[in-house]
Structure 1
Amino acid sequence: MKSINIVGCGRVGKTLGRAWHSSGVYRVQDVLTRSLASAEQAVAFMGAGRATTRLADLRPADVWMLAVPDDQIAQTAVALAQAAANWAKSAPTNPGKPPAIAFHCSGALSSTELASLRSLGWQLASAHCLLSFADPGTALQQLAGSPCALEGDPSATLALEPAFVRIGTRCFPLAAEHKLLYHAGAVFSTNFLPVLQDLAQQLWRDSGVPADMVAQLSTTLLRNAVNNILALGPVCALTGPAARGDTALVQRQGEAIAQWNTTAGEAYQALSQLAAKLAAS
């Protein structure tokens, strides 16, 4: 069984690490986070691994997952490359190094973020599971059937694909130059949904809707909208004043929202324009 080290074991790292350990895909070896407590919590959740906070303490592994925030991927790769160079000096005849594969989990950034490892002969990739990782326990239950975008060196993606397939994901290839747009699609599809729901609930509260009715309004409308989109598609599920072509109401409503919250008013106008365009398609 191949070994895997996990650098940055937050919600994504814990979910995938436990799935791989439970399925016998990888042997979780070393787990690094910024605090020992969080590393130990990750190890306890996954049921495997050795917790540490020092990159120098990590041992060579077959696969490395960098599940750190996007703005830390490149600098983490640089630090890892320096540590790997030290391993090479201390054990120049060790046939088990360097590790064959390193990948990160960003949906927006490509494997070029790991370029500092290229000179060491590492194969580089990115792997993004299209799934909400708000809670690792819940994410584990939702993992089966989730799409997973693979990008990077062909040898790396070829090796990673069966590892992701074995934990239930459905892999597909993605070109590096398309990652930003791909991830933006995910942002529009899910990340903005809580924002829109929060705005809706604020508007209802500020317009005098009883507190015990706000949650019911949100639940009813959201569930019906999702069901209609899934059953009919976005175009046929679209309703509202912009879809009806009621530009006068859109204008008046936009002005009222702008007085309430300038940013929300701008968002309403922009989304109304997109809704009108969709209705006309």
Structure 2
Amino acid sequence: MTKQHSLAIIGPGKVGTAIAVAASKAGFTDITIAGRDIDKVHAAAQKVPGSKGRRITEAAHHADIVLLTVSDSEIELVCKQMTEELAFKKGTVLAHLSGALDSSVLKQAKEESGVYIASAHPMQTFPSLDAETPGEAAVPGAYWFLEGDAEAVVVLSELIEKLGGTVNAITSEGKAIYHAASVVACNYLSTLMDTAIGMMKQSNVDEDVAWKALKPLVFGTLNNIDQMGPEAALTGPIERGDVETITKHRHALDAMSVHERGLYSALGLRTVQLAMRKGAIDATVAEKLNVELKQIF
């Protein structure tokens, strides 16, 4: 029978709390939550049946798996402080959940305490602690990307599978561009929607109506991408080679800020490439579109 690992969550924010609750629901019974803000630690522990709120050093020393769910800027510093306070047992699995950083930021703990280190990033967005939908609902089904010591990857893979996640390997060299991809898909989608709503408001459409009108278009596009991929799902004036419409857009965008114009131009130029790859337009039409799009910004 596989031994059930003890788990310490260092950082009782939205991600750490969500994973602690999800681990409890997955059957983990030895969960400790720790952090500098005692009130947040106790608030998180109250959401996890049977969990304990402890001091950081005590929590780490007790656990087989230590997850640092603090902000990226704090990971190396927290690891350094914990190492100097002799928080880790030899053979402990220590991982952070940053998407941009690799496991090397934990090397001091590996060299001085004999822990196995890794980075384990869930490609998922987690709601705030006071959101209507609980954060733990985002954990099952998430794709996790792991790199680090083989011993740590094995243990973390078992943990993630028990949480209902899917494990994928990634190289330390690939983490930054991988994280940039997730930022484009997640964070920039919010920016894109805000921009589209702002442009609708510029045409005297109420903000509430603007989103309600755009929503089925957005979700329909995402569904098409899911079913066919982005190339086959591409529609619109660039895909049709409609230079005249892009020219009208160019003139209309004169009233918008440099940010809207720059975004439309950059995405349009990238869309021309996608339309050519699809075979929807030829090089001659693509050049005409590019000329119009470059004049916008």
In structure 2, the residue matched to 1:43 is 45
**RMSD (CA atoms):** 2.2
Which ranges of structure 2 fall in alignment gaps of 5 or more residues? 278-297
Does the CA-based 8 Å contact 1:258-1:264 persist in structure 2? no
Q: 1:78 to 1:255 in 2, by over 3 A?
A: farther
Aligned partners of 1:230 and 1:21: how far apart in 2?
32
In structure 2, the residue matched to 1:145 is 141
- How many pairs align? 269
| Superposition deviation, residue 269 in structure 1 | 0.8
| Superposition deviation, residue 131 in structure 1 | 1.4
Q: Which has the higher mean CA deviation after the structures are superposed, 240-249 or 161-170?
A: 240-249
C-alpha offsets along residues 101-132 of structure 1, whole Å, 9 cap, x if unaligned? 10000112110111111111110001111112
In structure 1, the residue matched to 2:240 is 244
Residue 101 (structure 2) pairs with residue 109 (structure 1)? yes
TM-score, normalising length: structure 2: 0.83
Secondary structure of the residue that 1:129 maps to in structure 2?
Answer: strand
Residue 125 (structure 2) pairs with residue 132 (structure 1)? yes
Q: Which among 24, 31, 34 is matched to residue 32 of structure 1?
A: 34
C-alpha offsets along residues 45-72 of structure 1, whole Å, 9 cap, x if unaligned? 22343335x5455450211110011111
Which ranges of structure 1 fall in alignment gaps of 5 or more residues? 89-96
| Superposition deviation, residue 199 in structure 1 | 1.0
Aligned partners of 2:128 and 2:207: how far apart in 1?
27
| Superposition deviation, residue 78 in structure 1 | 0.7
C-alpha offsets along residues 133-167 of structure 1, whole Å, 9 cap, x if unaligned? 12565442343322111110001001111111011
Task: Within 5 Å, give how 1:1-281 maps onto structure 2.
Answer: 1-25=4-28, 27-29=30-32, 31-52=33-54, 55-56=56-57, 58=59, 60=61, 61-84=63-86, 97-98=89-90, 100-119=92-111, 120-135=113-128, 137-247=133-243, 249-250=245-246, 253-254=249-250, 256-257=252-253, 259-281=255-277
C-alpha offsets along residues 2-58 of structure 1, whole Å, 9 cap, x if unaligned? 2222111211111111111222236112x2234222111111122343335x54554
TM-score, normalising length: structure 1: 0.87
Does the CA-based 8 Å contact 1:242-1:273 persist in structure 2? no
Specify the code of the residue in structure 1 equivalent to 2:124.
L
Secondary structure of the residue that 2:193 maps to in structure 1?
Answer: helix
C-alpha offsets along residues 182-213 of structure 1, whole Å, 9 cap, x if unaligned? 12221122221111111111111121114552
